[in-house]
Amino acid sequence: MLIKNKSIAVVGGGPGGLTLARLLQLKGAEVKVFERDLNKNARVQGSPLDLHDDSGLAAIRKAGLLEEFKQNYLIGADRELIMNENAEIFFSDHESKPEEDFGKEHFRPEIDRGTLRKILLESLQPATVVWNSHFVSMENQGEGWLLHFKNNTTAYADIVIACDGANSKIRPYITDSKAFYTGITMLEGNIQQVKEAAPKVNALLRGGKIMAFGNNKNLLMGQKGNGDIGFYASFRTDENWASESDLDFTDRTQILDWYKTTYPEWDSIWLELFENTETPFIPRPIYCIPFDQTWEAQSNITMIGDAAHVMPPFAGEGVNMAMLDALELSECLTSDKYKNLREAISSYEISMRKRSAKVAKESLDNGELMHAENALENMLSFFKSHHY
C-alpha cells in the first residue's frame, strides 16, 4: 500500500474530512485530523443535509456506518413545500412522496449536520482529531510538510489533505485558480425551539422544508432534529455586501429592518424568522469554481470538498461531493494499481475535477433559475418533472 508507514494530515473536520479519516483508518492508515474548533461542541452546526445514494450514502456504506445513519436520520424532513412570497402553497409532496427506502436512487434522507458529525467522530480511533488546530501555513520538510497552527504548535505529515472549506488556506499550495462570485449572497439564521418561537412558520414547515420565491429573492428553510430550524434569505447583491452594508449582524432589530426594506412585498408571516433568530446572522456570499480548473498533481498534497470545488448550494451536492471525494481519494491512496503516490493522487484529481465541474455548472444554473423573475414557475416545473 502506497501510504504504508506514511503519516497523513487531514486539515479540516467537516463531513468530508472526517469521512476520509474514517475510510483511511479502516485501511490501516496513520491519520490525524486538525480542526480549528476548540472542541466538538464549539459552535452550532448548519442546516440538515440530504445524502444521495451514489455519493454521500455510498461513502457512509463504505465507512460501515449505514446502520448508525439509519438510526439517526430525520424521517420526513425531505418533504418539500414550494411557496410564493405570500406563503401560498403551489407544490407539496407531504402526502404524495413515496415511502422512504434506502437503496432507491431518488431517496435522499436528511440528517442534522451535528448528528452526522457525531457519528463520524465516534467512528474514529481515540485522539484522531486534534482540536484547536487553526492552520496558518506550512513548508516542505524532507518529503513531507511541516504544518504551523495559530496556537503556535506544529506537526509533520508525509501527506497533507486540504478539507478546510471554501476559504482553504492550503489550496494556494496546489493551484492559483480561484473561485468566482456568483452574484448571490445568502443570509443564514437559526431559530431554537421553533414550535414556541415561530409557531406560524412551524405550522407551515410540518417537519420538512420550504422554498419560497418572489421578486428575484428566496427564503429557504428546513427543520432540524432538535426542534430548531435553519433558514436562508437568498438574494442578488454585490460581492462585498456584508462588509459594505454597515449592518451589525449581531443586532436582530437592525437585520429585521433590513429584511423589511429588502423584502417589502413579502407576507408578514415571514417576520417570525427574523424576529426570533439566534444572533449573529451569518452572511454567506456564494462562490463557484471555474469549470475548466486544472493543476499538476503533487505526490504529497491534495484536497477534497469545498477546498477543491466550492459550488453554489442550489443542487444539494456540496457535502455529497465532499464525501464522494473522500471515498474516491481513500480508494486511490490505498490501491495497488498505481506506481507511486503522484499517480494515485493524479487519478483522483482528474476524476474529481471532471465530475465537480459538471455538478457546479448544474448548481450555478439552478441558482439562476431560483433568482429569476419567474423563479416560482421555474422551480414548480423543476420539482414536478423530478417528482417520483
The DSSP annotation for 266-284 comes to S-GGGHHHHHSPPSPPEEE
Residue with cell 479540516: 12
Phi-psi region of 201 (alpha: psi -120 to 50; beta: other; left: phi over 0): alpha
Q: Is 306 among the annotated ligand-binding positions?
A: yes
**Residue 356: φ, ψ to 5°:** -70, -35
Q: Is 50 annotated as a binding residue?
A: yes
353 assigned ligand-binding residue: no
CA angle 145, 146, 148 (to 5 degrees): 135
Residue 117 among known ligand-binding residues:
no
Whether 110 and 76 have beta carbons less than 8 Å apart is answered as no
Contact by Cβ (8 Å): 33, 20: no
CB atoms within 10 A of CB 189: 23
Query: What are the C-alpha distances in Å from 353 to residues 181, 305, 349?
Result: 19, 11, 6
Which residues line the annotated binding site for FAD?
A: 50, 113, 306
Which residues line the annotated binding site for NADPH?
A: 43
Which residues line the annotated binding site?
A: 43, 50, 113, 306
